[in-house]
Structure 1
Amino acid sequence: MLEVTDLHVSYGNIEAVRGVGLTVEPERVTLVLGANGAGKSTTLKAIAGLQKPHAGTVRLDGRDITGQAPHRIVRQGVALVPEGRRVFAPISVAENLRLGGYAADKSAFADTLAKVYDMFPILADRRSSPAGLLSGGEQQMLAFGRALMSQPEVMLLDEPSMGLAPVVIDAILAKVAEMAQAGIGILMVEQNAQAGLDIADRVVAIARGEVVYTGESGDARNQASVLRAFLGEAALADRSS
């Protein structure tokens, strides 16, 4: 289990994350909602070691991993799938996956790769193709597969549906649910709130760097605080009128 407690992150004099606390449990999807600039992606980066927090703790199975180098955090079982997919376009699908397993147990590489190809058959079909020639949805699946190659306990997903057609979004988020069912804890930032709520077990809403709501996904749909954090005051007023 991943536990984040009283996390604070600043960019110069601007405190982007102020006391965020959340948990990510195995086999469950925790959805993070909030307006642009609320601190959602910064929270993921701090957990992954890409942004150093100035206060708070991040623990994985009770081990303090706060502020460690990203490669050490990957080795301990936390993998980030960044916004925009960030696949290595010139090299093949297979080579992208191989890079994803650089920090993992090499003796399990073949078995892990087989599981990735089983979960994402399109990657097996396109294993020799340059990643840059894949469609947006296929690249997102490759980004998932690359993270899975590190054999993670927890996956951090930053806007996995960004830039994708609605029919593709459904397929991508179905894969997120499948990864959770395989035993991985998922922490997902997602602007498509409705689609995210369809697969989420738990919801955390962040506004201005602070958690304003935490609860089960079924309860979150009718919570004004969640709508306010995600949609803003004007949109909330429109829904009430």
Structure 2
Amino acid sequence: MLDISSLACSYGRVEAVRDISLRARPGEITLVLGANGAGKTTMMNAVAGLLKPAAGTVRLGEEDLTGLPPHVVVRHGLALVPEGRRIFGPMTVAENLRLGGYLRQGARLREVLARVHEMFPVLHDRRDVAAGLLSGGEQQMLAFGRALMSEPTVLLLDEPSMGLAPVMTDVVLGKVAELAATGLGVLMVEQNADAGLDIADQVVAVARGSVVYSGDAADARNHASVLRAFLGEAALAPAAESGARDQGGEA
């Protein structure tokens, strides 16, 4: 289980994450919602070792991963699919996958690669194609496959549906659900709240770098703090003012 406790991160004097605590359990999808600038990507980068936290801890099982560099974090079982995919465009699909599996050798590497190809057949079909020539959906599948090549126990997904057509969003998030069903823990940041809630088990809403809601996905859709975290205070204010005027008119 991934356990993030009282995480705080800063860029110079700017505090991006103040106090985030959450868990991602095996076989479950934990969805993180929040408006732009809420600190979601900063949190993911800190968990993955790309950013050193100012405070708090990141633990995977019994291992303390706080502040460890990314290659060590990967060795312990965490893998990040970053926002915007970040594949290596000039390299082939096969080369991108081999990079993701750099910890594996020989028969083990071939076994892991076969599993990735089974889940994403298009990566086998287009293995000799430059990754930059793939469609957006295919590139996202490649980013997934590259992360899975390290055989993680927890997968970190930062905006997996970004830039995808609705049909491809359904395909990609369907794959996320399939991965969780195999026992993989998933921590996912997703701006498409409706689609994310359809597959999530747990929801954490973040506003101004702090958790404002944590609970079951089934209870999250109409919870005021979740809406506030996702839409922002300004987006809710007109509705609140309108409601107050309506009540005043009825009186």
Q: Deviations over 1:158-194 (max 9, x none)?
A: 1111111111101110011111111110000011111
Aligned to 2:122: 122
**Pair 1:108-2:78 in alignment:** no
Distance 1:233 1:115 in 2: 44
AA aligned opposite 1:95: E
**Normalising by the residue count of structure 1, what TM-score does the alignment of the two structures yield?**
0.97
Shift of 1:238: 5.7
Distance 1:14-1:71 versus aligned 2 partners, 3 A rule? same
Per the alignment, in what secondary structure is the counterpart of residue 108 of structure 1? helix
Range with bigger deviation, 86-95 or 207-216: 86-95
Shift of 1:236: 3.0
Distance 1:40 1:104 in 2: 31
RMSD over aligned Cα, in angstroms?
A: 1.2
Range with bigger deviation, 83-92 or 141-150: 83-92
C-alpha contact (below 8 Å) 1:38/1:209 kept by paired residues:
yes
**Pair 1:6-2:10 in alignment:** no
Distance 2:110 2:103 in 1: 14
**Pair 1:136-2:136 in alignment:** yes
Task: Structure 1: give runs of 5+ residues left out of the alignment.
Answer: none
Q: Deviations over 1:98-149 (max 9, x none)?
A: 0000124655211110000000011111111111111000000000000000
Aligned to 2:156: 156
Distance 1:24 1:106 in 2: 31
Distance 1:4 1:160 in 2: 21
1:14-25 aligned within 5 A = 14-25=14-25
Aligned residue pairs, count = 241
Shift of 1:239: 6.0
**Normalising by the residue count of structure 2, what TM-score does the alignment of the two structures yield?**
0.93
Distance 2:181 2:139 in 1: 22
Q: Percent identity?
A: 66
Distance 1:59-1:107 versus aligned 2 partners, 3 A rule? farther
Per the alignment, in what secondary structure is the counterpart of residue 18 of structure 1? strand
Range with bigger deviation, 103-112 or 64-73: 103-112
Aligned to 2:38: 38
Task: Structure 2: give runs of 5+ residues left out of the alignment.
Answer: 244-251
Shift of 1:198: 0.6
Aligned to 1:53: 53
Aligned to 1:187: 187
Distance 1:173 1:237 in 2: 32
Shift of 1:14: 1.1
Shift of 1:69: 0.7
Shift of 1:6: 0.6
1:187-206 aligned within 5 A = 187-206=187-206
Aligned to 1:170: 170
Distance 1:116-1:239 versus aligned 2 partners, 3 A rule? farther
C-alpha contact (below 8 Å) 1:48/1:73 kept by paired residues:
yes
